[in-house]
């Protein structure tokens, strides 16, 4: 085992902070730097990393260009809709079509489109372009200070933005902030880690004007002339699919709330009980919540949303998907104020879900950064064939023993598998953490806290961690279990490569995953990562098959052999592992020869772990 493996081991030496200086620095945003940054121009603290500077790219280096891009009123480049179907996939219409032909056609189409664009914009990489659609799209901003001249934004709010180290708005911020400030409904799609949270929080704080607690009774009853709406009760609501993400958004709110007595509440069992008192909830400015708890409170009559003026659905495509849709609808229909502004934000927005969102929104402006449903270009993505279930564990052990991108998030498809893999790695002596929804709230919060503090180097987790979570320092994501949809893949790997930093994403696949491989391979190809030709030549899974996978994931055998091996690694286990390794080598050879994947499910039983 390598030295690094020992460093990862509980019983091993303490972390050599000098040696892992770069990794340690990643947890300190002020000093953070990309791994491949060493040769780049040094970046001033708080400066927008060049990779995030979509706005500058969109301007082609000058304001006029930016305005052209921003003022494309009602203009719509068809590329992203035409190329991606509902599941975020390239739509080729003819499943038997040879992919290279399709690619040539697509390339030609892009070239034609590029030649029709203004010169400055034509140079902008697709991944960095901002496309706006809708009537009277507000002009974009090029700096946060534009906001004070144009929208008389409170100086304290801008100071808070600055103090958070945000110097230049990202693409989604440049277009999203003015649009929301002009009280428009918005559909915003921007890659993972590009600052969508600030895009909606800043306008909310500005439009709310002043905290409820600082307004006297008179102004509550009289019709206010300021931009701050009057009335009593919660004035802004942010919905998120997980408690972890809600807590993170709440913390971002607190950063912007500094210096004033804003009342922001993270809705939970405890705060819900306090808010059951009307005089308390009447003083609340902003609530951040998951849908389930809020719906329960609505049904119990312990909360009302009739004074909500700003409603944000973060990770909107998840909130408008089966499982959440009914609850989200109930919440949306409880926000009965005539002037309620609504906005949906996500890194992915399949067409079907966007249609649902459109029904909720009124005359929305649509802002898309890069290509819709694409992975962040900051992430180096690879696909690794591991043959069988047992092959995954061996490959992971090899990875941990060589040069893993640390800290590493390891995604599995179920709570049981998360617990199993966690145990396997503990058994191996790895210092590893875990997070899944079977854990208590305290256990989950502790896991998140340890990861944020840089105490965790490997974390096994489920989909709970896939969306929105921002841990600045995550260098790698491993899809130990193949994701169930393109959206899941994009969000999972988006936990790395954030705010302009580089990241690495590795995805294991077995024969059982082969039918779905092509969908994910397309995402890799689209964002510039290389994919072996034989994968690109695979047939595309039918829509029916993809939907079935979303509902019911590939069945997998248990993660490891701990249950059968007791404390020590017995001879029988060693023999079995050797047999499995030899089987895997044979399968790998078959795959390379293009054989095994033509009979994808035939070997499902060979997972003998
Ligand atoms: N203007 C800016 N300049 C520099 N960093 C920024 C800026 N805006 C946001 N960030 C940082 O970028 C990181 C990602 O932001 P955020 O979590 O809002 O991304 P996101 O687009 O919502 O991602 P996801 O799709 O995963 O939810 C955060 O650490 C945030 O502090």
Q: How confident is the model at residue 18 (pLDDT cuts 50, 70, 90)?
A: low
The pLDDT value recorded for residue 21 is: 55
Nearest CA residue ID for atom 22, ligand 1:
196
CA of 278 to the centre of ligand 1 (A): 35
CA atoms within 13 A of residue 248's CA, in its CB half-sphere: 21
Nearest to 70 by CA among 172, 210, 197: 172
- Predicted confidence band at 332 (pLDDT cuts at 50, 70, 90)? very high
**105 CA distance to ligand 1 middle (Å):** 35
Instruction: List the structure tokens of 393.
Output: 């564990």
pLDDT at 35: 34
In the block, residue with structure tokens 């393109």 = 486
Domain 128-214+230-369 and domain 379-563 have a common topology: yes
In this predicted structure, the answer to whether residue 579 has a pLDDT above a threshold of 70 is no
User: Cα(558) to centroid of ligand 1, in Å?
Assistant: 36
The mean pLDDT value for 184-190 works out to 98
Of all residues in the chain, what percent carry a pLDDT higher than 90?
58
**Domain edges within the chain:** 84-123, 128-214+230-369, 379-563, 572-604
What's residue 233's pLDDT? 92
The more confidently predicted of residues 213 and 187 is 187
Tell which one of 470, 472, 500 to mutate to probe ligand 1, the residue whose CB is within 8 A of the most ligand atoms.
470
Secondary structure of 302-314 in the HEC alphabet?
Answer: CCCCCCCCEEEEE
Chain mean pLDDT for the chain: 78
Instruction: Give nearest CA residue, ligand 1 atom 30.
Output: 195
What tokens were used for 344? 């949906």
Q: Which atom of ligand 1 is nearest to the CA of 190?
A: 21
Residue 216 CA to ligand 1 centre (angstroms): 35
How many whole angstroms separate alpha carbon 451 and alpha carbon 455?
Answer: 6
CA of 121 to the centre of ligand 1 (A): 24
Mean pLDDT to the nearest integer, 89-114: 36
Ligand 1 atom at minimum distance from 472 CA: 29
What pLDDT is stored for residue 219 in this prediction? 53
For atom 31 of ligand 1, the residue with the nearest CA is 195
For residue 580, name the pLDDT band (cuts at 50, 70, 90). Answer: low
Using the predicted structure, report yes or no on whether residue 75 has a pLDDT greater than 70: no
Q: Does domain 128-214+230-369 have CATH number 1.10.510.10?
A: no
* Out of 27-36, 170-179, 271-280, 470-479, least confident range: 27-36
Q: What is the rounded average pLDDT of the residues 436-450?
A: 95
pLDDT at 58: 37
Lining residues, ligand 1, CB within 6 Å: 48, 166, 168-170, 173, 190, 192-198, 347, 468, 470, 472, 494, 498-499
Return the pLDDT at 16. Answer: 41
Alpha-carbon gap, residue 10 to 430, rounded angstroms: 6
**Looking at ligand 1, which atom is closest to the CA of residue 491?**
26
Q: Look at strands 130-133 and 365-369 and give their pairing.
A: antiparallel
3-state secondary structure (DSSP) of residue 229: coil
pLDDT surpasses 80 at 100: no
Under 8 Å between Cβ of 34 and 49: yes
pLDDT(458) > 80:
yes
Give the position, in ligand 1's atom list, of the atom nearest the Cα of 170.
1
What are the strands, taking DSSP E only, across 485-530? 503-510
Residue 106 Cα to ligand 1 middle (Å):
31
CA triple 317-449-420, angle to 5 deg: 75
Tell me the CA–centroid distance for residue 193 and ligand 1, in Å. Answer: 5
Measured between alpha carbons, how far is residue 268 from residues 149, 246, 441, 467 in Å?
39, 10, 11, 20
Q: Is the ipTM of this complex over 0.90?
A: yes
Closest residue CA from atom 9 of ligand 1 = 195
Q: Which atom of ligand 1 is nearest to the CA of 469?
A: 26
Atom of ligand 1 nearest to the CA of 198: 18
The model's pTM is: 0.76
CATH number for the 379-563 domain, one of 3.40.50.300, 1.20.1340.10, 3.90.226.10, 3.40.50.720?
3.40.50.300
Residue 552 has pLDDT above 50, yes or no: yes
pLDDT of the residue at 17: 45
Q: For residue 347, give the ligand 1 atom closest to its CA.
A: 25
Q: What is d(CA 229, CA 354) in angstroms, rounded to the nearest whole number?
A: 29
Tell me, what's the pLDDT at 602?
A: 26
Least confident of 14-28, 310-324, 502-516: 14-28
Residue 110 above 90 pLDDT?
no
């Amino acid at each position: 085992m390598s030295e690094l493996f020992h460093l990862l081991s509980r019983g091993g030496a303490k972390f050599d902070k000098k040696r892992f200086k770069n990794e340690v620095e990643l947890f300190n945003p002020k000093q953070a730097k990309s791994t491949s940054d060493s040769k780049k121009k040094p970046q001033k603290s708080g400066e927008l990393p060049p990779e995030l500077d979509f706005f500058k790219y969109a301007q082609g280096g000058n304001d006029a260009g930016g305005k052209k891009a921003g003022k494309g009123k009602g203009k719509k480049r068809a590329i992203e809709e035409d190329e991606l179907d509902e599941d975020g996939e390239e739509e080729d219409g003819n499943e038997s079509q040879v992919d290279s032909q399709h690619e040539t056609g697509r390339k030609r189409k892009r070239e034609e489109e590029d030649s029709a664009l203004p010169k400055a914009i034509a140079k902008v990489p697709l991944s960095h372009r901002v496309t706006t659609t809708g009537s009277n799209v507000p002009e974009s901003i090029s700096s946060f200070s534009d906001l004070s001249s144009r929208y008389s934004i409170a100086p304290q709010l801008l100071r808070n933005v600055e103090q958070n180290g945000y110097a230049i708005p990202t693409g989604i911020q440049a277009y999203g902030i003015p649009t929301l400030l002009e009280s428009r409904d918005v559909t915003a799609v921007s890659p993972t880690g590009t600052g969508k949270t600030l895009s909606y929080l800043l306008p909310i704080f500005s439009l709310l004007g002043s905290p409820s607690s600082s307004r006297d009774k008179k102004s509550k009853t009289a019709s206010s002339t300021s931009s701050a709406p009057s009335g009593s009760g919660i004035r802004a609501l942010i919905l998120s699919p997980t408690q972890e993400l809600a807590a993170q958004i709440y913390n971002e709110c607190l950063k912007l709330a500094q210096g004033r007595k804003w009342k922001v509440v993270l809705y939970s069992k405890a705060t819900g009980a306090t808010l059951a008192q009307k005089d308390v909830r009447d003083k609340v400015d902003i609530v951040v919540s998951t849908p389930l708890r809020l719906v329960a409170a609505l049904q119990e009559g312990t909360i009302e949303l009739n004074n909500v003026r700003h409603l944000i659905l973060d990770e909107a495509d998840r909130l408008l998907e089966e499982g959440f849709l009914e609850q989200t609808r109930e919440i949306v229909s409880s926000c009965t104020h005539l002037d309620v502004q609504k906005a949906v934000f996500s890194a992915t927005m399949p067409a079907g879900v966007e249609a649902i969102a459109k029904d909720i929104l009124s005359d929305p402006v649509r802002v898309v950064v890069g290509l819709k449903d694409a992975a962040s270009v900051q992430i180096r993505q690879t696909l690794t064939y591991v043959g069988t279930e047992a092959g995954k564990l061996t490959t992971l052990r090899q990875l941990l023993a060589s040069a893993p991108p640390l800290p590493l998030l390891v995604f599995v498809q179920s709570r049981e598998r998360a617990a199993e893999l966690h145990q396997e790695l503990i058994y191996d002596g790895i210092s590893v953490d875990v997070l899944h929804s079977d854990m208590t709230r305290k256990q989950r919060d502790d896991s998140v806290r340890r990861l944020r503090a840089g105490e965790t180097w490997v974390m096994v987790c489920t989909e709970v961690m896939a969306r929105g979570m921002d841990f600045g320092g995550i260098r790698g994501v491993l899809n130990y279990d193949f994701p169930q949809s393109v959206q899941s893949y994009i969000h999972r790997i988006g936990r790395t490569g954030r705010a302009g930093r580089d990241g690495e994403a590795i995805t294991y696949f077995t024969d059982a995953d082969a039918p779905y491989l092509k969908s994910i391979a397309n995402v890799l190809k689209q964002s510039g990562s290389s994919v072996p030709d034989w994968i690109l030549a695979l047939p595309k899974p039918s829509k029916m098959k993809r939907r079935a996978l979303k509902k019911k994931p590939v069945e997998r055998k248990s993660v490891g052999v701990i249950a059968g091996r007791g404390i020590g690694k017995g001879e029988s286990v060693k023999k079995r592992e050797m047999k499995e390794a030899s089987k895997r080598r044979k399968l790998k050879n078959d795959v390379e020869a293009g054989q095994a994947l033509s009979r994808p499910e035939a070997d499902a039983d060979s997972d003998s772990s």
